[in-house]
Amino acid sequence: MAFTLNTYPITYRSKFLGGKWTSEYLEKPHKTPEEEAAMNEEDQSKLRNSRNCYDDMPLVSYSSQYGLSCFEGLKALPQKGGGLAIFRPDQNAARFARSMEGLYMPPFPEKDFLEACVETVKRNAALGFLPKYKSEWEKDSFMTADSVYIRPFTESEGGIGVNLSHEPWVIVINTPVSSYFSQASSDAVVTDKIRATANGTGWIKACSNYVISALAKSEAIKSGFMECVFLDAVHRKYIEEGSSCNIFFYLKSGELVTPELTDTILPGITRLSIIELARDKGVKVSERKLSIDEALEETCECFVSGTAAGATPLTSLTYQGKKTLFNGGKTGDFTADIRDTIKGIQYGAISDTKNWMVKVI
């Protein structure tokens, strides 16, 4: 399933006007999940499309014309003991505010962000729109498990000239989501495209950043790869990110390396969590520059991280036509341990000693 545009009925919307945020919850057309599943494809499409439209918002805006918008992505996950919980939403709230400030928008209050995320999930769950925990997910380390994807994003006021947004909307929607990456391949390739440049918006979760990522990943998939990896814009030798995820290299020395945060790299919340978990396990973690040559020569395991990716292994990396296998082309023990730990915490199969999970129901 991965991402789908099957937006759940309850959405949240807030508008900055007159120096303050005014908020509302909107209930879009819907039937019960069972009734919707029984509808023919055409009727399903019409119903679901009706949930993706706001007739009172501008068609032409700084967001639609110039990509002046930012967003977040987080999940509410079904718990082994029952209910739903969201993974570290306070971190998303803080990053969303930073992104808005970086785009010179009035920042959205973090407490309002948290409330909107929890409340949309709770209200949609009350209508029957929620996944239920399945014990079979444990067999593949939750790599194909379902969850509720929470997408907060900004939309600007109407405008056609290149300009800033002073009166944005913040909207929060929920959709179902499962595995992001294909299970058929775990190969990656170094792309020649450049994701971000210094003094730009690479550190912001800005919509415009993802155009290059989409193009590069599309090229990678057409060539038989699951993922692409970006190098830095200046030297064209230091590793930065995957298409929409941070990246880690577990070296033969036992050091876990991830590129240091600069203004060209997004500060991932899963990245932050993995660093903490690895250090708890006694692993030396370094946030530093890592050249493509060092990575190919010294890496024994590699994985990417993110809200959608979790901790997904990359078993090879191809650079300038040469393919380098990691761990003999198989998922390594360290990668599997990190993946299982973070997924176990998220789905309630492992005790949440960090207090990272925020209960919804």
The DSSP output letter for 140 is G
Predicted confidence (pLDDT) per residue in 31-72, tens digit: 988 988 899 989 888 888 888 889 899 999 999 999 999 999
223: left (phi over 0), alpha (psi -120 to 50) or beta: alpha
| Residues 75, 15: Cα–Cα separation, whole Å | 24
pLDDT at 50 (0 to 100): 87
Residue 229 lies inside a defined structural domain of this protein: yes
C-alpha 95: how far from chain center: 12
Do the beta carbons of residue 129 and residue 31 sit within 8 Å? no
**Domain of 57?**
10-177
What's the pLDDT tens digit per position in 112-127? 999 999 999 999 999 9
Q: Are residues 101 and 199 in the same domain?
A: no
Task: Find out whether 120 and 150 touch, Cβ atoms under 8 Å.
Answer: yes
pTM of the complete model = 0.95
As given in the structure block, the two tokens for residue 180 are 């992001």
Total domains in the chain come to 2
- Measured CA to CA in angstroms, residue 12 lies from 53, 76, 137, 237 at distances of 13, 16, 30, 43
Based on the domain organization, do 240 and 172 belong to the same domain? Answer: no
**Considering the chain, what is the average pLDDT of its residues?**
95
CB of 84 within 8 A of CB of 76? yes
Does 226 share its domain with 321? Answer: yes
Q: What is the DSSP letter of 158?
A: B
Residues 128, 211 within the same domain = no
Reply yes or no on whether the pLDDT at 1 is more than 60. Answer: no
Cβ atoms of residues 104 and 164 within 8 Å: yes
Flag whether 91 is in a domain.
yes
What letter represents residue 214's amino acid?
Answer: A
Per-residue model confidence as pLDDT tens digits over 175-212: 999 766 655 679 999 999 999 999 999 999 999 999 99
